[in-house]
Amino acid sequence: MEFLSVTTGDGVAVATIKRPPANALSRALIVEVDALLDQVENDDAVRVIVLHGEGRFFSAGADIKEFTEIESGAEFSKLANSGQEVFERLERFPKPVIAAIHGAALGGGLELAMACHIRNVTANAKLGLPELQLGLIPGFAGTQRLPRYVGMPKAAEMLLTSEPINGEEAVRYGLANRSYSDEELLPATLELARKIAKKSPIAVKATLDMLQYSKPSTYYEGVKAEHEAFGVVFDSEDAKEGIQAFIDKRDPSFVGK
């Protein structure tokens, strides 16, 4: 795979996102995440997956420049739907997936991390969904998963202000499990993964299956509504302005159209 490097050992597959400088979540990278799941699902030597990023970030967000290649809201909605399907598969995967987050998990990067079963972070990592800054909304189920972890009021604040929280706050609000120093993050996460890998694969799978029943019944309805709204918002003048302002490295000027 071009953007994911995978190594295995001790029952753990370590998948490293390698798309410098920001490990942006492109369509090709999402396809590779799906291919990774194909690769390890029936591999008995792999019992746990650890996902992390090479370089400065876990993933600093979607590939915004790629958005300029999309011509319509309908195509944008289709992109969101395909991403949601891969992330839903990740969330429902029969083997535990642990995200080791350093630097930043923003936008699509955080949506990817929220689809994992466990999230460890560095204390100074930035986690957020800044899509409104571009005149857009999250499209990979971010509006549905974030409230499950941090609660509705905090999710509303994070979404509507586009302001991220740090790793320590993420642990406090329930978005992450534990925070570590930069040096400790990956070793500690691998230790956790190896501990889980020693458990019965049958019992682990059954536990993951049972956890699916803990979600509100309206969640997947919300996911569908989100990708449809994602396409509608993309067709707005504000979205075009927000994307172009990001590329131009300037503040956007939204007009409400």
| pLDDT per position as a tens digit, 149-201 | 999 999 999 999 999 999 999 999 999 999 999 999 999 999 999 999 999 99
Query: Distance between CA atoms of 107 and 126, rounded to whole angstroms?
Result: 11
Query: Distance between CA atoms of 147 and 130, rounded to whole angstroms?
Result: 15
Question: 233 lies in a domain?
Answer: no
pLDDT bucket at 212, cuts 50 / 70 / 90: confident
Mean pLDDT of 98-126: 98
Domain containing 54 equals 4-182
Question: 91 lies in a domain?
Answer: yes
Ramachandran sector of residue 111 (left: φ over 0; alpha: ψ -120 to 50; beta: rest): alpha
Question: 194 lies in a domain?
Answer: no
Does residue 67 register a pLDDT over 80?
A: yes
Range 238-246, long-range pairs (CB < 8 A, 24+ positions): 238/135, 239/134, 239/135, 239/136, 240/135, 241/135, 242/133, 242/134, 242/135, 242/136, 243/64, 243/67, 243/68, 243/134, 243/135, 243/136, 244/68, 245/134, 246/64, 246/133, 246/134
CATH of the domain at 146: 3.90.226.10
In tens, the pLDDT along 125-142 reads 999 999 999 999 999 999
Q: Catalytic pick from 111, 157, 184, 228?
A: 111
In tens, the pLDDT along 39-63 reads 999 999 999 999 999 999 999 998 8
Q: Catalytic pick from 32, 131, 169, 226?
A: 131
Cα–Cα nearest to 146, from 194, 106, 102: 106
Please tell me the total count of domains within the chain. 1
Question: 227 lies in a domain?
Answer: no
Query: Distance between CA atoms of 148 and 125, rounded to whole angstroms?
Result: 20
91 is catalytic: no
Q: How many CA atoms lie within 13 A of 236 on its CB side?
A: 20
pLDDT bucket at 224, cuts 50 / 70 / 90: confident
Question: 119 lies in a domain?
Answer: yes
131 is catalytic: yes
Higher per-residue confidence, 184 vs 228: 184
Question: 138 lies in a domain?
Answer: yes
Does residue 215 register a pLDDT over 90?
A: no
pLDDT bucket at 217, cuts 50 / 70 / 90: low
